[in-house]
Amino acid sequence: MKSAGDRNAGLSIIEREELGTLIDVLGARGYQVIGPVVSDGAIVYDRIASLADLPEGLTDEQDGGRYRLKQRDDRALFGYVVGPHSWKKYLHPPRIRLFRAECAENGLRIIDEEQPQEKFAFIGARSCELHAIAIQDRVLLDGVYPDAVYRARRENLFVVAVNCGTAGGTCFCTSMNTGPKATTGYDLALTEIPDPDNHRFLVEPGTALGAEILGALSSREATPDDETIAEQSIARAVEQMENNTRRMDATGIRELLLDNLEHARWDDVAQRCLTCANCTMVCPTCFCTTVEDTTDLTGDHAERWRRWDSCFTQDFSYIHGGSVRVSPMSRYRQWMTHKLATWIDQFGVSGCVGCGRCITWCPVGIDITEEIRAIRGQINGCKA
Amino acid sequence: MLPVPHRIERVRRETRDTFTLELAPVSGAAIFSPGQFNMLYVFGAGESAISISGHPGRPEKLVHTVRAVGVVTRAMRKLKRGDSIGVRGPFGAPWPVDLSEGRDVVLVTGGIGLAPLRPVIYHVLANRNKYGKLVLLYGARTPADRLYTREFERWRRRPDTYIDSTVDAAGRDWTGNVGVVTRLIPRADFDAANAIVMICGPEIMMRYTVAEMQKRGVSLDRIFVSMERNMKCAVVACGHCQYGPHFLCSDGPVLRFDRIAGLFGKREI
Ligand SMILES: Cc1cc2nc3c(=O)[nH]c(=O)nc-3n(C[C@H](O)[C@H](O)[C@H](O)COP(=O)(O)OP(=O)(O)OC[C@H]3O[C@@H](n4cnc5c(N)ncnc54)[C@H](O)[C@@H]3O)c2cc1C
Ligand code: SF4
Ligand code: SF4
């Protein structure tokens, strides 16, 4: 084994425990290290201090409207897929103050909110999630008015990706070309090899900074064997998804939806949809927000806050005289046609990365891939 | 993008529920294109999208005409000369005043919809020889709800304009037209083959207006409408103002009709 500092590029192997060193190194460099942890029976993202915080030997069973953690027969640290949280809660915070205002003698004064330059290190971001971050980059940074809140959190981000070795029950990233192997948007990419006798990670640096951090860990050069085992685990995830009926045919999907704004299936899904907005909250690309204005009791100080909003609420489309999208039909249609069709007009990419969260966390198990199949006419339903 | 405090120089009452604010531009000059809007912030109450209704050639005044309908606009109505208001902008795609050069300019609007079109009128009158006829067809609920009445009379008396108006309902003393604004279209004097039509009003009114204009032979790519959706940020980030693929804060509010013909008239888009 080579010692720290010897290597800085190519594929390396680090032992399981060395991941703890990575967390320490990132912490020592001033990063807030965020990773998967177990909370309330689900895997969520939170601050982590050491290897012990990561979920060990767990996997998740997911299906429409169903999520359950289960023990694996090994000590894998990343043996599950994605949970109800996404990284957007750090980069695009759920609630944030935009400014304060004062009503002074000489009139109105607006006090800007200094955006602290956050240094986040995300450990365990999946390929679909890296694509989701790239999509939010386009939405929130690439336009005429880059979002200062997002930028201050995004600029110094360090990403440790994890290639998926198993697919979840609601995953369909292969349909969306967003996984399961991380191809871009990471500083380091790990493939876990949870062999009980030799639990290790294959590590691939994606940036110079990633290579530098890797150089601070003890690692050895990966052998062809290591690489083959890692490739096999990713191939297994692909195969699981290919065998899954939950696939989405994305060809011509924009035209499909825009040509079918008045399809009977919208009424069908509206019968089931509770307009609870869960799908938009868990979706890693949904970006909509609203604002709230408040004043204190003296009436001299006011604040403006921004918080996540959802196109599933009736207020979302309120204009004087009444909301535009009153029926649940129109709200589901707005969400899905935006996500899969008009998003392409607006940002040049689909708004869906195939992570499956909206399916798992929908209380009634509405499945976006099934809705597309139905609009394509591939589901006939019961025709008595 | 933060609101910039502006001093209110003058408040003019227009109708029972509508008023005009004149602000002193902080930078000295408020440069805008007809049809653009600002986000106006009332301390503690919130922000509203309000079109600029002043003269594009007189940037020393920043003018907005507002109808008090809800929380923010009612708070705005309480503001007086000397008070301050926050301004962000200008935002949005303007009316096609450049494309209209050499053609008849036909404006069809109702109620508060005249405010966003007034800068077009100012611009055409200030550059009179660049344009053909100026046609304004205006509808209001009642005679008392008509905006800018004295100015309207001045526009009407000019020999180089065709100006007609109507109200939905009126008392016996009203000698003008009663009925919907679309009724004014068939007899209006303009060259349909060489006109640009700009429409600002409720969606239903715009739908009937487009239909009448098609009957007159105006092609859909010469018709422009101003669309309205809830708006929070005006910087293409909050998602509220989407209309199909369009963000009305930047692709709109003014849209060329043929580009939205497939969406327009579909319910709850
Ligand atoms: C591009 C554009 C230009 C406009 N120009 C003018 C103008 O020149 N003069 C004028 O009087 N009004 C104009 N409006 C309408 C004006 O923005 C609304 O009347 C105002 O936002 C209502 O806010 P409120 O708090 O008083 O009403 P509330 O009913 O309390 O509204 C609550 C919230 O709903 C939203 N909302 C309500 N009505 C509208 C609406 N019609 N359009 C967009 N969001 C709405 C706002 O976000 C508002 O904060 C324009 C709207 C748009 C989109
Ligand atoms: S739409 Fe559903 S599957 Fe697609 S990215 Fe959002 S949550 Fe994931
Ligand atoms: S699709 Fe499901 S998660 Fe989304 S709003 Fe409807 S019921 Fe809620």
Beta-carbon count within 10 A of A212 CB: 14
- A232/A277 same-domain check: no
What is the DSSP track for A124-186? EE-HHHHHHHHHHHHHHTSSSS--HHHHHHHTT-EEEEE--SS--TT--HHHHT--SS--SS-
- The 10s digit of each residue's pLDDT in A292-314 is 999 998 889 999 999 999 999 99
Q: Residue B69: its chain A contacts at CB < 8 A?
A: 320
- CA–CA separation, A16 vs A57, rounded Å? 13
Tokens of B220: 């859909």
Whether pTM > 0.90 for this model: the answer is yes
- A50/A11 same-domain check: yes
| B244 and chain A in contact, CB less than 8 A | yes
Which of A220, A242, A264 terminates a domain? The answer is A242
Q: Do B239 and A320 touch (CB under 8 A)?
A: no
Number of domains observed in the structure of chain B: 2
Task: Give the residue from A280, A293, A295, A342 with the most B CB atoms within 10 Å of its CB, the best one to mutate.
Answer: A293
Provide Rg for chain A, Cα atoms: 23
What CATH number is attached to the domain comprising B81?
2.40.30.10
- A204/A339 same-domain check: no
State percent of chain B over pLDDT 90: 98
- B157/B43 same-domain check: no
Residue B198's domain spans which residues? 104-226
- CA–CA separation, B16 vs B14, rounded Å? 7
- The 10s digit of each residue's pLDDT in A103-138 is 988 889 999 998 888 899 999 999 999 999 999 999
β-partners of residue A219 are A2
Please report whether residue B112 resides in a domain.
yes
- A135/A155 same-domain check: yes
On the question of pLDDT at A5 being above 80, the answer is: no
- A283/A234 same-domain check: no
- A21/A87 same-domain check: yes
Please report whether residue A131 resides in a domain.
yes
- CA–CA separation, B45 vs A218, rounded Å? 58
> Does residue B114 contact residue B14 with C-beta atoms inside 8 Å?
no
- A185/A50 same-domain check: yes
Which of A219, A242, A265 terminates a domain? The answer is A242
- The 10s digit of each residue's pLDDT in A54-106 is 999 999 999 999 999 999 999 999 999 999 999 999 999 999 999 999 998 88
Q: Which residue has the tokens 């199909």?
A: B244
> Does residue B62 contact residue B30 with C-beta atoms inside 8 Å?
yes
What is the DSSP track for chain B? ---EEEEEEEEEE-SSSEEEEEEE-TTS-----TT-EEEEEETTTEEEEEEB-S-TT-TTSEEEEEE--SHHHHHHHT--TT-EEEEEEEESBPP-TTTTTTSEEEEEEEGGGHHHHHHHHHHHHHTGGGSS-EEEEEEESSGGG-SSHHHHHHHHHSTTEEEEEEES---TT--SEES-GGGGTTT----GGGEEEEEES-HHHHHHHHHHHHHHT--GGGEEEE-----S-SSS-S-TTEETTEETTTT-BEEEHHHHTTTTTSTT-
> Does residue A186 contact residue A125 with C-beta atoms inside 8 Å?
yes
Tally the C-alpha atoms within 13 A of residue B14's C-alpha that lie toward its C-beta. Answer: 24
- B152/B222 same-domain check: yes
Please report whether residue B239 resides in a domain.
no
What CATH number is attached to the domain comprising B126?
3.40.50.80
- A176/A136 same-domain check: yes
pLDDT of residue A119: 96
Beta-carbon count within 10 A of A384 CB: 2
Which of B190, B210, B226 terminates a domain? The answer is B226
User: CB within 6 Å of ligand 2 — which residues?
Assistant: A 282-285, 339, 352-358, 368
Tokens of B236: 């293409």
- A217/A315 same-domain check: no
Please report whether residue B210 resides in a domain.
yes
- The 10s digit of each residue's pLDDT in A257-267 is 999 999 999 99
Computed over every residue of chain A, the mean pLDDT equals 94
State percent of chain A over pLDDT 90: 90
ipTM for this prediction: 0.93
Q: Report the SS3 class of residue A67.
A: strand
> Does residue A371 contact residue A359 with C-beta atoms inside 8 Å?
no
Q: Which amino acid belongs to residue A207?
A: T
- B81/B120 same-domain check: no
Q: Residue B4: its chain A contacts at CB < 8 A?
A: 110
Q: Do B228 and A319 touch (CB under 8 A)?
A: yes
Residue A312 Cβ contacting ligand 3 at under 6 Å: yes
- CA–CA separation, A181 vs A201, rounded Å? 14
Q: Residue A320: its chain B contacts at CB < 8 A?
A: 69-70
Residue A208's domain spans which residues? 4-242
Q: Do A338 and B84 touch (CB under 8 A)?
A: no
When CB atoms are compared, the residue of B5, B69, B240 closest to A109 is B5
Please report whether residue B235 resides in a domain.
no
- B63/B112 same-domain check: no
- A265/A198 same-domain check: no
pLDDT of residue B165: 96
Q: Do A326 and B247 touch (CB under 8 A)?
A: no
Mean pLDDT score, B132-150: 96
Q: How many beta-carbon pairs under 8 angstroms link A with B?
A: 109
More confident residue, A147 or A384: A147
Contacts of A58 (CB under 8 A, 6+ apart): A38, A43, A69, A70, A71, A72, A76, A79, A80
- CA–CA separation, A350 vs A344, rounded Å? 5
Residue A279 Cβ contacting ligand 3 at under 6 Å: yes
Please report whether residue B111 resides in a domain.
yes
Number of domains observed in the structure of chain A: 2
Please report whether residue A383 resides in a domain.
no
Distance from CA of B158 to the nearest CA of A (A): 35
Closest residue CA from atom 6 of ligand 2? A283
- A14/A41 same-domain check: yes
